Amino acid sequence: MAEEQGRSRLGRGLAALIGDVGEEIGAIERARGQRRVPVEFLRPSARNPRRTFGEDDLDELTTSIRERGILQPIIVRSIPGMVDAYEIIAGERRWRAAQRAELHDVPVILVEADDREALEIAIVENVQRTDLNAIEEAAGYERLIAEFNYTQNDLARVIGKSRSHVANTLRLSKLPEPVRKMVSEGAVSAGHARALLSVSDPELMARKIVAEGLSVRDIERVVQEEARGESKSAVPAKPRAEKDADTRALEKALEEALGLSVSIGHRANGSGEVKIGYATLEQLDALCRRLKA
């Protein structure tokens, strides 16, 4: 019980620490205050859940930092036995961009955190900023479960996501390694990845997604065909010709954002409807939470 209460307090404190809520006494007590330190004093963490740093993304951040500086401090902890050396808990991308911008020092917040807390902070910060791809997020959750005996409910509370989101994200770790690589590189979206969990050959279908631009709804058709015992090699039907390119593009964008099938129907008088399909009650629950937010 004490451990559970500690996790709950930590979750609230982390949110304040990374700037997503107002003042939080627990976070203030945990932090030793903001300061500026030379960029060479910082070290990346081997435990950082984020592994992918896109060149275009870094270039854009570098330009922003040159113009406006670093607006959000980097969260660090001291490295035992070393003087003037700090391990980055959250903000490695900012640190990398600061070096590209040739900054001599950067703002940091020094906190006291053990390995478990450091990993929590890193995951919370990255997830709330949507900096992690879905595979990195799943790996971070798995690490908290494996190393620190977290349950899915613990993760949902600390991360600030629904339990269904945590469960669906963890399932992505079951995809074949080549498919996980495509997701990490952005060739396949998280919505596609969740749909691929239900097909008989995720790797083959992932390649078709990349080569043919298949939508999440296309993949769901394959799942339905396989459930009916139809040909597993059948190529999903392309969107019907009566829908214009803009409508199909909007459907695809919504599908990738929601991870669900979306159909937009226009009427001659300018009205219309948007249909969102779901395969499980967990998907419906997650959709309702997003709409309420």
DSSP string covering 155-192:
HHHHHTS-HHHHHHHHHGGGS-HHHHHHHHTTSS-HHH
CA-based nearest residue to 223, from 254, 200, 250: 200
Q: Read off the DSSP letter of residue 40.
A: G
Q: How far apart are CA 37 and CA 44, in angstroms?
A: 15
Determine which one of 87, 92, 120, 125 is catalytic.
Answer: 92
Is the CA virtual torsion 170, 288, 129, 115 positive or negative? negative
3-state secondary structure of 19: coil
3-class DSSP state for residue 42?
strand
In angstroms, the CA 41 to CA 84 distance is 6
Tell me what percent of the chain is helix, strand and coil, each rounded to the nearest 5.
55, 15, 30
- The dihedral through the CA atoms of 86, 91, 97, 98 has a sign that is negative
Asked about 92 being catalytic, the answer comes back as yes
Active site residues: 92
